[in-house]
Amino acid sequence: MADTDRGYLIIQVSTAGKGLPIEGAHITVSKTEENERETVERVLLTDRNGQTETLTLPAPSRENSQTPSGTDNYSTYKIQTEKEGYYPVENLEVPIFGGKTTIQPVALIPLPLGYTASPIIIDDKEPQDL
C-alpha cells in the first residue's frame, strides 16, 4: 500500500528511572522497505528538554482506517538513539498513522565507567511488561 498521507513523530529521550531529559542524543529514524532495504528518513539531535523537533513522515491514508482491508493502516519506522555514556537503544516498528502525532519515549540507561555496549532493542509491536 502506498503511503499517500503524512504522520508526525516526536521523540522524547530521558534517563531511565529518574526521567531526566537528555540533551544532544543522536537520533536516526529509518524505514525498511518491502525489499528489505533500509532508508534513513532523518538524523537529528534532542534539545535541552530531551525532545526532537516534530518530524513529518509518509504514512498510509487515514481513509484506510475506516474500511477493513486486511492491510496495515500505519507505517512503521525504526528509531536508533545514542548518547555517549549510555546504552544505545533501537525501537523497532514504531507505528505512524496518517494525520496523527506519535510521541515516542526513549529511556537511556547509563553505562558503567569504561564500558561500551550493544544496543537495547525494543520491538514496539510486542507488548511491554512495565
Residue 76 pLDDT more than 50? yes
Q: With bands split at pLDDT 50, 70 and 90, how would you rate the model's confidence at 115? A: confident
Neighbours of 77 (CB within 10 A): 27
In a domain, 17, yes or no: yes
Residue 71 pLDDT more than 70? no
In a domain, 130, yes or no: no
pLDDT above 90: percentage of residues in the chain: 55
CATH number (domain holding residue 106): 2.60.40.1120
pLDDT at 130: 40
In a domain, 120, yes or no: no
Range of the domain at 21: 5-111
Residue 90 pLDDT more than 90? yes
In a domain, 90, yes or no: yes
User: Global pTM?
Assistant: 0.80
Higher pLDDT, 34 or 90: 90
Rounded mean pLDDT, 32-38: 75
In a domain, 69, yes or no: yes
Residue 104 pLDDT more than 90? yes
Three-class SS of 47-101: CCCCECCCEEEEECCHHHHHCCCCCCCEEEEEEEEECCCECCEEEEEEEEECCCE
The number of folded domains in the chain is 1
Q: Which residues on neighbouring strands pair with residue 31, listed in sequence order?
A: 39
Residue 24 pLDDT more than 50? yes
In a domain, 122, yes or no: no
